[in-house]
Amino acid sequence: MKLLSLLLILFSTSSLAAANKPNILVIYSDDHGWADLGVQGVDRDIRTPQLDQLARDGVRCTRGYVSAPQCVPSRAGVLTGRYQQRFGMEDNNKGALPLSEITIAERLKPAGYLTGQVGKWHLDLRAEVMGAGKKDRSALVEHMPHGQGFDEYFRGELTKFYASHDLQNNAFPDAPHLVEDKRFRVDVQTEAALAFLKRRESTADQPWFLYLAYFTPHVPLESPEPWFSKTPKHLPIQRRQALAMMAAMDHGIGQIRSRLKEMGQQENTLIFFIGDNGAPTHEGHWDGSINKPMLGEKGMLTDGGTRVPFLVCWPGTLPAGTVYEKPVMNLDVAATANALAGLPADAKLDGVNLIPFLKGENTAPPHEHLFWRWRTQAAVLEFPWKLIRFGADEQFLFDTTTPEGEKTNLIAAHPDIAARLNARLKAWSDELQPPGLPTEMHAQDAQFYAEHIDPRFAAAAPKKPKDDPNAILGWLCRNGTLSRENGALLVKADPAAKSPPFLTFSPLDFLGPARLTIRTRGQISGAGSVSYRIRHETDFDPKKRVAFEWEPETTTVRIGATSRLIHLRIYLPANTQQADIERITLQREGQPPHIWDFTTQP
């Protein structure tokens, strides 16, 4: 089916010349709150001079939305131009992108475009498949960018990238080739985008499409220089790191625009800048970005989860400095690219060509309705009215233009509007895979809604463990007792216990790999070990235990897990009767440490 669709596109465009078609650059940021563009005028601490200039040179869409409040489905939506629920990619656990779906890259290639991808992909099989065997790796590889129409790519988030070319523009004969680069990821992704543009100097007459997916300000947070030292020191560390990471991305976008100008391609390149979803703020998972004045966060169908920074710039074609206030969506990118490439309209696309609307040639709203369904939530926007369904029975109706926005439920005052929107939403949901509206209430969704909308949902939210009165800075002792004396954590073995004492800390949320450092007072010697659990594990795996020898004063243990650590146990030597611990430090390379300092009195 996919081959047939591509052949139809090819045959219908075989006579189209590549000339006079604009280059198309789509830049996708990650977990980037609406407020975090300087030009939005919301927060004085954010500094994005290059993005602000992009807005001044083009159109700032103040009501730009994405089709999901989470990474994978949002990316599936932008690249296919279709509601991702139509092909079953409703949330992060529903990957990979089916090979039968046609991406922007696959649409544009028959129209003469060369296509490229840089940065976060997140549309292939889960990363754990890597290394599990040649068969599994083969399945992963075929879902990488080159399997979805990209001629060139530098796919990766942190320090490992699968690439068609190196950063010196040499093609890898064994692509996708693994490249390891431990520099700050935004710098590497910018350099890969610049390398893609460098290669276009030899294909100057051929239009190109580049999808640049920056992995920022998504966690793990980092402190890149020279930007971090310029952030206000009174702010929380997460906020400072997010500001620094976004400043690095902003700088990279400035470099890319400068390169386009040098190439003489500035006025022949359409640029979209869009966030993939709102910033997360829930349960300590804050990435330092902010959504205000929107209500909610990543994982919610309120504007805080789905309304994002959204800029469109095409110098000389789109009116500079325009503020566009009608709702638009990430799905519109594919339909716009399709039209600009001279391709026939495709009824399968859920977006619209935005150019006539942004130029003022069409004054009607681009969309009568926008729809969402994610996990146990569903929503429809018929501007200014937004209906949200949560679970089987909960419904909210908001006027998104009022000062109260999504804080005041108007469903009792406007039952006719609610009934109309419910009918629209049901009809749309019945077209999806699987069809229908939510019938359950996910516990984490309940926690989101309890914190942001109505506390009564707390009863359905996951129960947080009660604080143990015996815990000290969150640490507990098994097979012994804990106390805080003379500026140290005093561990005493239980004489009746059959095993040596160990310290345990849960819940934890720390992305590995990590270095665990334990500073002790007095002599501790002998064999010890550290056990750890990672996210989604319900019990300790014996294979996730690191043995070591205790050292005088300072002991360092390396934990190689690349997933999020949620639980630690530190085992003392078998002969331990007492131990005095001054400090425990957990640190990922290049990141600020997590420190439990017992020398400071509570």
> 54 and 194 in one domain?
yes
The single residue listed with the structure tokens 């996990």 is 375
Q: What are phi and psi of 309, to 5 degrees?
A: -60, 135
Q: Indicate the pLDDT class of residue 139, thresholds 50, 70 and 90.
A: low
Q: What's residue 131's pLDDT?
A: 39
CATH of the domain at 427: 3.30.1120
Q: What's residue 338's pLDDT?
A: 97
Least confidently predicted of 124-133, 239-248, 280-289, 465-474: 124-133
Residues 489, 499: Cα–Cα separation, whole Å: 20
Residue 421 lies in a domain: yes
> 441 and 330 in one domain?
no
Least confidently predicted of 71-85, 92-106, 369-383: 92-106
Higher pLDDT, 384 or 539: 384
Question: For residue 135, is pLDDT > 80?
Answer: no
Q: Indicate the pLDDT class of residue 278, thresholds 50, 70 and 90.
A: very high
Could you tell me the CA-to-CA distances from 529 to 247, 446, 488, 502 in Å, in that order? 41, 38, 21, 9
Average pLDDT over residues 238-253: 96
Q: 357 and 366 in contact (C-beta within 8 Å)?
A: yes
State if pTM tops 0.85: no
- Residue 584 DSSP label: E
Residues 303, 34: Cα–Cα separation, whole Å: 9
Average pLDDT over residues 416-441: 95
Can you give the residue range of the structural domain that contains 439? 374-460
Q: Select from 327, 323, 287 the least CA-distant residue to 308.
A: 327
Q: 2 and 102 in contact (C-beta within 8 Å)?
A: yes
Q: What's residue 128's pLDDT?
A: 37
Q: Indicate the pLDDT class of residue 284, thresholds 50, 70 and 90.
A: low
Residue 129 lies in a domain: yes
3-class SS at 430? coil
Q: 195 and 101 in contact (C-beta within 8 Å)?
A: no
Question: For residue 462, is pLDDT > 70?
Answer: no
The token duo for 315 is 């110098």
Neighbour tally for 449: CB within 10 Å = 26
Q: What does pLDDT average to over the chain?
A: 89
Q: 60 and 39 in contact (C-beta within 8 Å)?
A: yes
Residues 116, 114: Cα–Cα separation, whole Å: 7
Question: For residue 4, is pLDDT > 80?
Answer: no
Q: What's residue 127's pLDDT?
A: 42
Could you tell me the CA-to-CA distances from 404 to 62, 293, 410 in Å, in that order? 17, 10, 11
Question: For residue 15, is pLDDT > 60?
Answer: no
Residue 465 lies in a domain: no
Q: What's residue 588's pLDDT?
A: 85
Q: Select from 99, 182, 201 the least CA-distant residue to 145.
A: 99
Q: 169 and 197 in contact (C-beta within 8 Å)?
A: no
> 414 and 347 in one domain?
no
> 310 and 454 in one domain?
no
> 160 and 110 in one domain?
yes
Q: Indicate the pLDDT class of residue 336, thresholds 50, 70 and 90.
A: very high
Q: pLDDT digit string (tens) for 141-200?
A: 788 999 999 999 999 998 889 999 999 999 999 999 999 999 999 999 999 999 999 999
Q: Select from 64, 63, 58, 56 the least CA-distant residue to 39.
A: 56
> 511 and 419 in one domain?
no
The single residue listed with the structure tokens 């198309």 is 24
- Domain end call among 345, 367, 389: 367
> 315 and 357 in one domain?
yes
The token duo for 575 is 């002969």
* Helix (H), strand (E) counts: the chain: 12, 28
- Residue 486 DSSP label: T
> 230 and 123 in one domain?
yes
Residue 485 lies in a domain: yes
Average pLDDT over residues 314-322: 96
Q: 216 and 186 in contact (C-beta within 8 Å)?
A: yes
Q: 491 and 528 in contact (C-beta within 8 Å)?
A: no
Residue 412 lies in a domain: yes
Q: 89 and 97 in contact (C-beta within 8 Å)?
A: yes
Average pLDDT over residues 416-444: 94
Domain count for the chain: 3
Residue 468 lies in a domain: no
Torsion 323-326-331-335 (CA) sign: negative
Residue 469 lies in a domain: no
- Domain end call among 403, 427, 460: 460
Q: Select from 363, 291, 351, 269 the least CA-distant residue to 324.
A: 363
